[in-house]
């Protein structure tokens, strides 16, 4: 019983319906088990340049492995997207656009283009 593999990966074919099943099963939420020790990883935001590199893929892969391992070990896990930390590059961009040296903490996304 052999099946020939397609020469290209087709994510739509492979992943069809899976994401909705995950949403329906609440796999992106902690279990709420009060007996389980909590464990979470905060996903850092993308860099302000928007350029991704292999380090980003490696970091995300490691986080995925760790959070899955902790869940299998019985931890009440949560993998939470991070927030903008107002990094140096963003500060420099704001300074060049606004001409100010100090900026208050930002609570929303700013489009500087």
78-91 residue pLDDT tens: 887 655 555 666 66
Q: What is the DSSP string of 71-108?
A: HHTT-EEEEEE------HHHHHHHHHHH--S--PPP-S
For CA atoms 109, 30, 62, 14, the dihedral sign is negative
pTM: 0.45
Instruction: Give the pLDDT confidence score for residue 51 in this predicted structure.
Output: 65
Does residue 9 carry a pLDDT above 70?
yes
**Hey, is 15 helix, strand or coil?**
helix
Asked which of 10-19, 20-29, 35-44, 102-111 is least confident by mean pLDDT, the reply is: 102-111
Q: What is the DSSP string of 49-71?
A: T----HHHHHHHHHHHHHHHHHH
Instruction: Give the pLDDT confidence score for residue 81 in this predicted structure.
Output: 64
Does residue 36 carry a pLDDT above 80?
yes
């Amino acid at each position: 019983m052999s099946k020939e593999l397609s020469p290209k990966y087709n994510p739509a074919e492979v992943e069809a319906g899976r994401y909705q099943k995950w949403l329906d099963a609440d796999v992106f939420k902690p279990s709420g088990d009060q007996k389980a020790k909590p464990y979470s990883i905060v996903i850092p935001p993308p860099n302000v340049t928007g350029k991704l590199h292999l380090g980003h893929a490696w970091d995300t892969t490691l986080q995925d492995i760790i959070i899955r391992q902790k869940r299998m070990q019985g931890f009440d896990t949560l993998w939470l997207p991070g927030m903008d930390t107002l990094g140096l590059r963003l500060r420099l961009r704001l300074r060049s656009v606004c001409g100010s040296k100090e900026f208050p903490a930002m609570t929303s996304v700013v489009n500087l283009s």
